[in-house]
Structure 1
Amino acid sequence: MTDVPFLTPLSPNQQRAFGLTEPWPLALADRVRFAELDPLNHVNNVAYLIWFEGARVTYFKHVGLTTYTAPDSEPRIVIRRGEIDWLQEMRADEEYVVVTRTVDYRTTSFTLRQEIWSGGTVRAAFTCVIVLLMPDGSGRMPIPEPVRDRFHAVDGVERRVDAP
């Protein structure tokens, strides 16, 4: 796919053209770089984590959780737990898409699911629990209502009975 806009959110049609069966709330395309390869010419395991991180940062901005410009008023965003599955190797110059969505939430934390797609298949998957802390780190911060509303309207998360 040579006309894919890299590092720009993809439309549902662009996502389907990349081989995704259903569009995700956020999808970013890119291409494997030489610096991301290991001595066997496979993508190094650390590169996947960097790709997931880049998509998470963009996702947090898109859902209105942070702008990363107001540390005195925006939450501290912490990964409490993460689990990755490397499913299929990737090589130099492969184009890929990192997709991101919230799949569950509580009052001060939410579960994020991310996948890397290339060639119509999932190559890696990452699930993590994100905790929001007060800007000064003094305790947990509730997920803002507009963000929770977006989790429902855009990400398709079921309403939580334990959330405010």
Structure 2
Amino acid sequence: MARPDPARQNPAHYPHRTTIQTRFQDLDVLGHINNVAMAALFESARVRFNRALELSGWSGHRWLVARVEVNYLAEAYFPDDVEIATGIGEIGNRSWQILSAAFQKGVCVATCDVVIVMSASGGLTTLPDNFRAGLEANRVG
């Protein structure tokens, strides 16, 4: 697998950053943060990012995770915190990407690409214009 674009490995290209503490229980037998724990760190950062966007509250609409891809670039360790930078990637008619990168001591240790789809009671639905504008304002640069 090819390494992500170097721009994805620069926290300055993302509009949102959050720091998450690692835990001893996140370690595998080799002493580094295991893949399941890294996915959970990305999930926590994604939830914080979504809350910071203040785009929730769409009555009758739900956001569903359609795909998650994590690329591990280097080992991460306890007890150092992980800084996760997050922003919006591609925006479609009914879906959008949330792109993240995890950094420890300034080194990009992993990237995560998530596809989210918007659903309403009748199934998938198009993104409302003002919702799309909120996503556009938070694109990865």
TM-score range (shorter-chain normalised) is 0.7 to 0.9
Q: Distance in 2 between matches of 1:51 and 1:74?
A: 28
Q: 1:60 to 1:141 in 2, by over 3 A?
A: farther
Q: 1:115 to 1:156 in 2, by over 3 A?
A: closer
- Matching residue of 2:73: 87
SS of residue in 2 equivalent to 1:22:
helix
The structure with more strand, counted as a fraction of residues: 2
Amino acid at match of 2:37: A
- Superimposed CA distance per residue, residues 39-83 of structure 1 (whole angstroms, 9 cap, x where no aligned partner): 22111110111111111112222223325xx8xx25221121221
1:133 and 2:119 are equivalent in the alignment:
yes
Q: 1:156 to 1:52 in 2, by over 3 A?
A: closer
State the identity %. 26
Bigger radius of gyration among the two: 1
> Structure 1 unaligned runs (5+)?
1-19, 158-164
TM-score when normalising by structure 2? 0.82
TM-score when normalising by structure 1? 0.72
The structure with more helix, counted as a fraction of residues: 2
1:57 and 2:25 are equivalent in the alignment:
no
Q: 1:46 to 1:156 in 2, by over 3 A?
A: closer
SS of residue in 1 equivalent to 2:123:
coil
- Matching residue of 1:120: 106
Amino acid at match of 1:121: V
> Structure 2 unaligned runs (5+)?
1-9
CA contact (8 A) 1:85 1:126 kept: yes
1:154 and 2:138 are equivalent in the alignment:
yes
- Matching residue of 1:4: none
